[in-house]
Homo-oligomer: A and B are copies of this chain.
Amino acid sequence: VAELRAASEKVLQTRPHLALQYGPQQGYGPLIDYLRQRIAQEEGLSLSRANFTLTAGCADAIDRVCCQWLQPGDVVIVEAPSYFETLMIFQDHGAVPVSVPVDEGGLMVEVLEKRLVALDRAGRRPRLLYTIPSFQNPTGVTLAADRRPELIRLAREYGFFIVEDDVYRDLSYEGQVPASLLALDQQAGGGNVFRIGSFSKILAPGLRLGWLIGPPCLIKDIYESGVRCTGGGANPFICHTVSELCLSGFLDSHIENLRHLYRERRDIMLKALEVHLPSQVEWTRPAGGFFIWLQLPRQLTSQAVCAAADAAGVTVLPGDQFYADNDDHHHIRLAFSYLTVEEIKQGVAALGRVMHELLRHESVQ
- What is the interface of chain A, defined by CB distance below 8 A to chain B? 1, 4-5, 8-9, 12-13, 16, 19-23, 56-60, 62-63, 67, 71-72, 83, 85-93, 204-208, 225-232, 234-238
Contacts and interface: CB of A to CB of B under 8 A. Distances in A.
Contacts of A56: 56, 208, 231, 234-235
The 4 A-B pairs with the shortest beta carbon distances in the complex, nearest first, are: A88-B226, A59-B231, A89-B226, A59-B230
Given A5-B9, A208-B231, A232-B205, A226 B22 contact: no
Nearest to A57: B231
Given A22-B205, A56-B56, A230 B9 contact: no
Contact of A204 (B21, B72, B207): B21
A83 to B, nearest CB: 8
A226 B92 contact: yes
A204 B237 contact: yes
A88 B225 contact: yes
Contacts of A72: 71-72
Contacts of A207: 20, 237
Contact of A20 (B1, B58, B228, B229): B1
A172 to B, nearest CB: 23
B206 A19 contact: yes
A220 to B, nearest CB: 14
Given A9-B9, A56-B235, A237-B238, A20 B230 contact: no
A326 to B, nearest CB: 16
Nearest to A231: B59
26 contacts: A4-B12, A4-B16, A4-B20, A5-B12, A8-B8, A8-B12, A20-B204, A21-B206, A22-B205, A56-B56, A56-B231, A57-B231, A58-B230, A60-B227, A62-B227, A62-B230, A63-B67, A67-B93, A71-B72, A72-B72, A88-B226, A90-B226, A206-B232, A206-B236, A206-B237, A208-B234
A165 to B, nearest CB: 10
A230 B67 contact: no
A92 B225 contact: yes
Contacts of A62: 227, 230
A82 to B, nearest CB: 12
A230 B88 contact: yes
Contacts of A58: 230-231
Contacts of A13: 5
Contacts of A235: 56, 206, 208, 235, 238
Nearest to A204: B20
A5 B235 CA distance: 17
A231 B20 contact: no
A62 B228 CA distance: 12
Nearest to A63: B227
Contacts of A5: 8-9, 12-13
Nearest to A55: B231
B226 A91 contact: yes
